[in-house]
Structure 1
Amino acid sequence: MTHRKIMEALSGLLLGMFVAILSSTVVANALPTITADLHADETTYTWVITAALLASTVSTPVWGKFADLTSKKLLVQIGLIIYVIGSAIAGLAQNPGMLIGARIIQGLGAGGMTALSQVIMAAMISPRERGRYSGYLGAVFAVATIGGPLIGGVIVDTSWLGWRWCFYVGMPFAIIALIVLQKTLHLPVERRKVTIDWGGATLITAAVSLLLIWVSFAGDKYEWMSWQTGAMVGVAVVLTLLFLLVESRAREPIVPLHLFRIRTLSLAVVASVLVGIAMFGATTFLSMYFQLARGETPTKAGLMTLPMILGLAASSTIVGRIITNTGRWKVFLVTGAFSLTAGFALMGTLRYDTDYWLAAVYMFFVGAGVGMTQQNLVLAVQNEVRPEELGVGSSVVSFFRSLGGAIGVSALGAVMGDRVAIYLRDGLAALGVHATASGDGAIPKLSSLPAPVRTVVEAAYGHGAADLFLYTAPVACLALIAIVFIKEVPLKTVGALHQRATAEARA
């Protein structure tokens, strides 16, 4: 395929990817307004995000397996349709239960688009050339990840729109992506008559769901070290062992266990979990830092995260082209993981009154690190798996990155809540204010606080966010160690469809 034909085919795919990422980020700044309007509690606040992330995570391996068995184009279009249906229901939600159910539907569709975008790219484009086009995917990811909260903030701050448009805003992009994909994406369909491993799909869904439910409620509904933790983790372990048993005997397993004999895939999975924890877990709380530690509006808080967008977009685009020209990729994985570690370590020094230009530099380092690691971990795996297992190989990496992100959001959120409570109590005590004045864990409204108390609250959230970033740095460092042990294998110069056609011709 010529560069022009590839870009035409990718246009609808990139739009779909934008929609998928946007769905999980655009509600971040709108959540306080949404929960207040629906008379919801803090549990709803958490689950509006967690429900979509949970559905996206558990469905990723299933989408990847289907991609190896049937039409990839049809699957990504089904994912877009599911997303549109979920978005429409979410925008019409009249109660918390309806909203969370709609977010699950949204997550199922978004999971399909996220998993299939990487698979379709790998089918069309050789690993050597893929770096160039992965840069475009990384740029879209950057804009949607950091731009989502900005768009959500503008919607909330615009009185005649309202929070429901946070769910409607992605629907036109999804519909346009459907039309563009129908006209531009033309892939040969190779259907195989096989039995789907529904047992494995059910077990992995149940195990991951239980694990994420545990992490979401631990530290809030019950202590981390409690009988509830023991019961939920114990059952999750049993379900995981049953899943491994079923997969070892299935004719067409959802996750072929022999893939983990590939050293690159095993190390990439470890690194992806850790990068997911760092990337999703820490960056989720950036908006909270700017709004509660620095007193900014939702819109301005989104704008202030732009250095991270620039770092991610620039690094993924430039590095992608360099990889295509040179064929070297490991040096950028190592550099990216180092940049991620250094960026979070530096962000651990932030306070409520830190000069913004310093925060901007630190965010740029984090963004550049994400841009160099996220796409290239998938590239390293795609370069070594067989063409007929391209979908499941790619989705395994995406699955573990999302799983790490879900765990990171919940665990680091609990850490931040604990640290903020401690700093609030100490700060208020220094003012002679009784500790119960720090409230019951609800998010404070800064404009209603007296000046001395407001300064204490801003300082508490600034220091609490910095602690969270500091705790994330060792996680990123562990990802760096895993990446160092990945062996650099020369990138193949033909795409998966070509590889399969050549193999069949020889046979």
Structure 2
Amino acid sequence: RVFRSASAIGFVVGFAMFGAMTFLPLYFQEVRGASPTNSGLRLLPMMVGLFGASIVVGQLVAKGRKYRPFPIAGTAVMTLGLGLLATLGVTTSSWLTAFYMFVLGTGIGLVMQILITAVQNAVRPEDIGSATAGANFFRSIGGSFGTAVFGALYVNELPHQMAKGLGAIHYHGPSIAVSHLTPQTLHALPLAVIGVIVHSISASVARIYVWAVPVGLVALLLSFTLPEIALRSSHHPVADEIPLSNADPVT
């Protein structure tokens, strides 16, 4: 039961996490004008929150011997972070964006590694490897689905936003292909059109996080199904393990 619950939570968290992370560099490059390298560096607040929360949770679980509260808290904080990112716009400050990413990373850090701990604690020692691989597999599959689904939603949303914005400024120039939009082609357009496209990209990315919030809520509901099993304090060897001190010498 622990493996089923943890795998389901991991799938949904991976769905939201990878889907969310995919579009932040796009936002930084197309909306904020950052370089590819700089857009990657701007993800550091999320990574700090993720790794910091993972370290703190590891220490708390080692002392308290209970892990169930952390997936619940983590999915709640993750959903809050997704909701904050849904407010992103062209004028959102860099510090505020960094704070939103930190909140999201903290939520992910509270839940990710604890799911692995719960799975490893629930299975026999000889099954730890396969159980860990299985849990990571479902998380990765969730990430793949999340990236694909959110990508499809973004590609569908952007043309609608652009058509609405270009219609508002009565643009009658050549059609603009969404698939050909790059920072280079964007800056070759008239300033009024650039403003419309930048706002359209920003609104489309924000819409992704609006859609991601219900996914986070699903993860929160699933986290309540994770059973609490007392953590093992030591490793008990299985019957076919022979201590080295008792093994026959090699001749």
Report the TM-score, using the length of structure 1 for normalisation: 0.46
Instruction: Specify the alignment match of 1:492 in structure 2.
Output: 232
CA distance in 2 between partners of 1:427 and 1:479 (Å): 35
Instruction: Specify the alignment match of 2:152 in structure 1.
Output: 414
Could you say what secondary structure the match of 2:237 adopts? Answer: helix
Residues 352 and 461, structure 1, Cα contact 8 Å, conserved in 2: no
Instruction: After TM superposition, give the deviation of residue 434 of structure 1 in Å.
Output: 3.4
CA distance in 1 between partners of 2:55 and 2:173 (Å): 50
Which of 73, 76, 83 in structure 2 is aligned with 1:345? 83
Q: Which amino acid counterpart does residue 172 of structure 2 have in structure 1? A: H
1:293–1:477 CA distance, 2 compared to 1 (3 A): same
**CA deviation digits over 1:41-91, x for unaligned, max 9?**
xxxxxxxxxxxxxxxxxxxxxxxxxxxxxxxxxxxxxxxxxxxxxxxxxxx
CA distance in 2 between partners of 1:291 and 1:482 (Å): 35
Q: Which amino acid counterpart does residue 493 of structure 1 have in structure 2? A: S
| Gaps in structure 2 of 5+ consecutive residues | 244-251
Q: Which amino acid counterpart does residue 168 of structure 2 have in structure 1? A: A
Q: How many residues align?
A: 241
Instruction: After TM superposition, give the deviation of residue 443 of structure 1 in Å.
Output: 2.4
Instruction: After TM superposition, give the deviation of residue 418 of structure 1 in Å.
Output: 1.1
Instruction: After TM superposition, give the deviation of residue 489 of structure 1 in Å.
Output: 1.1
Instruction: After TM superposition, give the deviation of residue 465 of structure 1 in Å.
Output: 0.6
Which of 224, 246, 266 in structure 1 is aligned with 2:4? 266
Which of 75, 92, 100 in structure 2 is aligned with 1:354? 92
CA distance in 2 between partners of 1:499 and 1:358 (Å): 51
Instruction: Specify the alignment match of 2:55 in structure 1.
Output: 317
Residues 293 and 460, structure 1, Cα contact 8 Å, conserved in 2: no
1:350–1:440 CA distance, 2 compared to 1 (3 A): closer
Could you say what secondary structure the match of 1:499 adopts? Answer: coil
Instruction: Specify the alignment match of 2:121 in structure 1.
Output: 383
Which of 217, 223, 229 in structure 2 is aligned with 1:483? 223
CA distance in 2 between partners of 1:504 and 1:472 (Å): 50
Q: Does 1:307 align with 2:49?
A: no
Residues 295 and 458, structure 1, Cα contact 8 Å, conserved in 2: no
Instruction: Specify the alignment match of 2:138 in structure 1.
Output: 400
CA distance in 2 between partners of 1:272 and 1:442 (Å): 35
Which of 449, 462, 474 in structure 1 is aligned with 2:202? 462
Q: Which amino acid counterpart does residue 477 of structure 1 have in structure 2? A: L
1:287–1:418 CA distance, 2 compared to 1 (3 A): same
CA distance in 2 between partners of 1:434 and 1:331 (Å): 57
1:386–1:436 CA distance, 2 compared to 1 (3 A): farther
Residues 65 and 230, structure 2, Cα contact 8 Å, conserved in 1: yes
Instruction: After TM superposition, give the deviation of residue 421 of structure 1 in Å.
Output: 1.1
Instruction: Specify the alignment match of 1:276 in structure 2.
Output: 14
Q: Which amino acid counterpart does residue 206 of structure 2 have in structure 1? A: A
RMSD: 1.8
Instruction: After TM superposition, give the deviation of residue 277 of structure 1 in Å.
Output: 0.5
Instruction: After TM superposition, give the deviation of residue 395 of structure 1 in Å.
Output: 1.2
Instruction: After TM superposition, give the deviation of residue 503 of structure 1 in Å.
Output: 7.7
CA distance in 2 between partners of 1:455 and 1:499 (Å): 65
CA distance in 2 between partners of 1:343 and 1:328 (Å): 25
Report the TM-score, using the length of structure 2 for normalisation: 0.90
CA distance in 1 between partners of 2:152 and 2:216 (Å): 19
Residues 159 and 178, structure 2, Cα contact 8 Å, conserved in 1: no
CA distance in 1 between partners of 2:181 and 2:148 (Å): 17
CA distance in 1 between partners of 2:196 and 2:66 (Å): 50
1:440–1:462 CA distance, 2 compared to 1 (3 A): closer
Residues 336 and 373, structure 1, Cα contact 8 Å, conserved in 2: yes
Instruction: After TM superposition, give the deviation of residue 432 of structure 1 in Å.
Output: 1.1
Q: Which amino acid counterpart does residue 473 of structure 1 have in structure 2? A: V
User: 1:2-151 counterparts in 2 under 5 A?
Assistant: none
What is the identity percentage for the equivalent residue pairs of Structure 1 and Structure 2?
A: 35
1:435–1:317 CA distance, 2 compared to 1 (3 A): farther
Instruction: After TM superposition, give the deviation of residue 328 of structure 1 in Å.
Output: 1.9
Which of 213, 216, 228 in structure 2 is aligned with 1:473? 213
Residues 334 and 483, structure 1, Cα contact 8 Å, conserved in 2: yes
CA distance in 1 between partners of 2:200 and 2:82 (Å): 19
1:501–1:284 CA distance, 2 compared to 1 (3 A): farther
CA distance in 2 between partners of 1:436 and 1:469 (Å): 31
Could you say what secondary structure the match of 1:438 adopts? Answer: coil
Higher RCO (C-alpha 8 Å, min separation 6):
2
Residues 338 and 369, structure 1, Cα contact 8 Å, conserved in 2: yes
Instruction: Specify the alignment match of 1:71 in structure 2.
Output: none
Residues 294 and 353, structure 1, Cα contact 8 Å, conserved in 2: no
Residues 53 and 110, structure 2, Cα contact 8 Å, conserved in 1: yes
Q: Which amino acid counterpart does residue 431 of structure 1 have in structure 2? A: I
CA distance in 1 between partners of 2:173 and 2:7 (Å): 44
Q: Which amino acid counterpart does residue 217 of structure 2 have in structure 1? A: C
CA distance in 2 between partners of 1:435 and 1:332 (Å): 54
**CA deviation digits over 1:296-355, x for unaligned, max 9?**
111221222221011111101111111112212111111111111110011111112212
| Gaps in structure 1 of 5+ consecutive residues | 1-262
